C-alpha cells in the first residue's frame, strides 16, 4: 500500500521515471547513490522496485533519524538501518539489497546545483561490498537538486551543522520538476580489489551518471519544462 501511494505521488508530482532496473541483480547488491536535499528520490525508487520486482531495499540512515519521535515503526517497516558494517554485511549475506549514500547528510545539505559529490574519505561502504562479496550498483536521480534546494551555502549553517551534527539548514522548494532515476552498470565483486580502489570505482561510476544525465548547473525552470517533453532523449 505504501509503495502504491508513493509511486502515485511520484508519477503525479514529478512524472517520475526509473531507468536501468535491469542492472539490479537477482541476488544481493549494494546500491550507492548521490544524496539530494531530501531522500525523496530514494523513496520513489524503493516504491517502484517493490512494484516492479516485488523486492525491498534496506537503506542506511543518519543516527539523528532514529531519534525522531514516532518514527520507529515506519523505519522498521521500510528497512532503515543504523548502518554498522556488521549489520550491512549480514543483510547482504541474507540476500537483501542495501542502499547507502556515502555523502550522507553533509552531501544532502551542502552540495548544490553543481551536483558536487561530497564523500570525503568515506570508504566503509566499499569494505562492506568486499566482505559480503556483492556488486555495487551506482544510482543518480536527474534534477533531484531542483526539486528541493537548501541554504547550505550560508556559512553560519555549515558551522552549526559541524558543531551540532543536526540538519539545521533551511530548505525550500517542493517544485514539481521532472525526476528520472538512473541505475548504472554493476561494479562486480573482485576478490583482489582494495577498499581504496573500489571506492574510487564507485565514485567514478556515480560521477559518470551525473555527467551523462544532468545539465550543470541545475536550473529549476528547465527542470520544470522537462515535464512537458514527450519522450526521453537518447543519451
Active site residues: 35
Show the beta-strand stretches assigned E in the chain: 17-19, 29-33, 57-60, 80-81, 97-100, 136-142, 148-150, 171-173, 180-183
Angstrom distance (rounded) from CA 102 to CA 94: 22
Asked if residue 129 lies in contact with residue 136, where contact means CB atoms within 8 angstroms, the answer is yes
The residue whose grid cell reads 520507529 is: 72
Pick from 177, 180, 171, 164: nearest CA to 221: 177
- Helices 195-213 and 124-132 cross at an angle (nearest 10°) of 110
Amino acid at each position: 500500500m505504501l509503495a502504491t501511494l508513493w509511486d502515485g505521488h511520484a508519477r503525479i508530482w514529478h512524472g517520475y521515471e526509473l531507468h536501468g532496473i535491469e542492472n539490479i541483480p537477482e541476488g544481493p547488491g549494494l546500491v550507492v547513490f548521490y544524496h539530494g536535499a531530501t531522500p525523496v528520490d530514494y523513496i520513489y525508487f524503493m516504491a517502484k522496485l517493490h512494484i516492479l520486482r516485488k523486492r525491498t531495499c534496506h537503506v542506511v540512515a543518519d543516527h539523528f533519524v532514529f531519534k525522531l519521535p514516532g518514527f520507529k515503526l515506519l523505519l522498521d517497516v521500510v528497512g532503515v538501518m543504523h548502518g554498522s558494517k556488521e549489520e550491512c554485511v549480514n543483510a547482504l549475506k541474507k540476500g537483501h539489497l542495501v542502499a547507502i549514500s556515502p555523502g550522507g547528510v553533509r552531501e544532502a545539505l551542502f552540495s548544490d546545483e553543481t551536483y558536487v559529490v561530497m564523500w570525503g574519505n568515506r570508504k566503509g561502504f566499499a569494505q562492506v561490498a568486499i566482505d559480503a562479496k556483492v556488486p555495487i550498483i551506482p544510482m543518480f536521480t536527474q534534477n533531484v537538486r531542483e526539486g528541493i534546494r537548501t541554504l547550505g551555502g550560508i556559512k553560519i549553517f555549515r558551522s552549526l551543522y559541524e558543531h551540532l551534527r543536526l540538519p539545521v539548514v533551511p530548505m525550500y522548494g517542493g517544485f514539481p520538476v521532472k525526476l528520472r532515476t538512473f541505475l548504472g552498470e554493476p561494479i562486480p565483486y573482485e576478490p583482489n580489489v582494495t577498499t581504496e580502489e573500489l571506492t574510487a570505482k564507485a565514485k567514478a561510476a556515480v560521477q559518470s551518471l551525473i555527467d551523462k544525465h544532468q545539465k550543470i548547473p541545475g536550473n529549476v525552470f528547465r527542470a520544470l519544462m522537462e515535464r512537458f517533453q514527450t519522450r526521453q532523449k537518447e543519451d
